[in-house]
Copies of this chain bind each other. A is one copy, B any other.
């Protein structure tokens, strides 16, 4: 058992080292290093893959005698990892790492210069390798099932389609009602919000929520993300628009939500493959909970608005709390997913979910993608991007080879309200605590019911144990009805 633990610790170290190299690539790496960095990440990832899937690990898994419940989980989860990993040849893993390293750089340049054509050949390679990857992983109904399962274990294309259809049927009438209601101005979140003041304010609030900067930090990157190199080193990134408060501030709360999940994992799991989020849906539930259910709530701003006024006297000097709260919660179809309001956000996800399926099935090609993106944006949200940088090039995910990932964002939204409802039942004065800037009870509840378990519990187990029921859109729809009914008067 100790030999197995040691071997898994080494594999975990290799994967975390690769994550550090990827973080550096997004934040500080000089441009000229693209090629060598892609090779280095590929070497680490393929090495980790080889070690996980070689005979030594298999023999250790067979012969190990678990000495605790933790050991049992370690063996169980690792067996599943090995089983999945052995389906994919290490040459394919290395090819994908090299391709994504290169295409990430190409995406950054293409996005900066609105030059989709320069990214397209990289994306074509990614799609081609992703199809090979899905075939290697295996699936029951459709290759897309295999891709989904990587990020949300046990989830199928059919189930997501079913949940999304249900959600859509109930959401579209709400969006229509809001569209017919008087417009709420978002003027208060636009104005003079200096870069340094936003940076400091975001970090200050993230600290107060419970993100531990002794074991974390924030940097600038083109696309905000969070990443963990150990339970004691969990980092976030943001980008700052000095004329617009929302993207950086709510982005910081979002990434801090992810980071607090990883920071809350039981230290007994440190250095093992169990010290990770159990699924991207659960991960996203944590980021959305802090970003939206807390960060965009009235009680939150009852506490923080005076702080914000002090931090941004020019923009907020003449603004009152209610105006600011409403301004931070306007619903309006917009081009950029990460800046979308809570109500229309899931439509952005459904668009990507459809496009990904069409790309993988070959129904559309990489060259069709900008037009398809723009057409569907127009159909779904009634607006058409004027540049690819604001359209098909806006997200980093495809450049990383992360196809099948997007649906987990919407699943996370649904899970966030389910968990938040359960937390409110356990902490009846939660709103009052939020209004006093005290988040410790909520964080403690999340640590107990979600964070500490890492991968020891499945996504579905977390939901069942914490809330008493499985995935459903009911809670989220009720939240939207209540909050936006209040704002838009329905």
Contact = CB atoms under 8 A, between A and B. Distances in A.
Given A10-B47, A43-B10, A233 B20 contact: no
Interface stretch (A11-19, A190-198, A304-312, A359-367): A11-19
A17 B20 CA distance: 9
User: Which bucket holds chain A's interface residue count?
Assistant: 35 or more
Given A230-B36, A233-B36, A214 B30 contact: yes
A276 to B, nearest CB: 14
A423 B483 CA distance: 75
Contacts of A33: 215, 229-230, 232-233
A32 B232 contact: yes
A31 interface: yes
A333 interface: no
Nearest to A35: B232
Nearest to A51: B47
A44 B51 CA distance: 13
A270 B35 CA distance: 11
This chain: how many copies in the complex?
2
Interface string A49-66: 000000000000000000
A264 to B, nearest CB: 14
A229 B36 contact: yes
A146 to B, nearest CB: 29
Interface string A246-271: 00000000000000000000000011
Contacts of A235: 30
A24 interface: yes
Pick the most buried of A24, A40, A47, A213: most chain B CB atoms within 10 A of its CB.
A40
A105 to B, nearest CB: 12
A10 B35 CA distance: 15
B270 A36 contact: yes
Given A13-B40, A20-B24, A30-B217, 7 more contacts: A14-B43, A16-B36, A16-B40, A32-B232, A33-B215, A37-B229, A37-B233
A40 B231 CA distance: 13
A153 to B, nearest CB: 26
A33 B212 CA distance: 12
B271 A30 contact: no
A21 interface: yes
Interface string A207-233: 000001111110100000000011111
A229 B47 contact: no
A158 interface: no
18 contacts: A9-B39, A10-B43, A14-B47, A16-B36, A16-B40, A17-B17, A17-B18, A17-B21, A17-B40, A20-B24, A28-B28, A28-B217, A28-B219, A32-B215, A32-B232, A33-B215, A36-B229, A40-B229
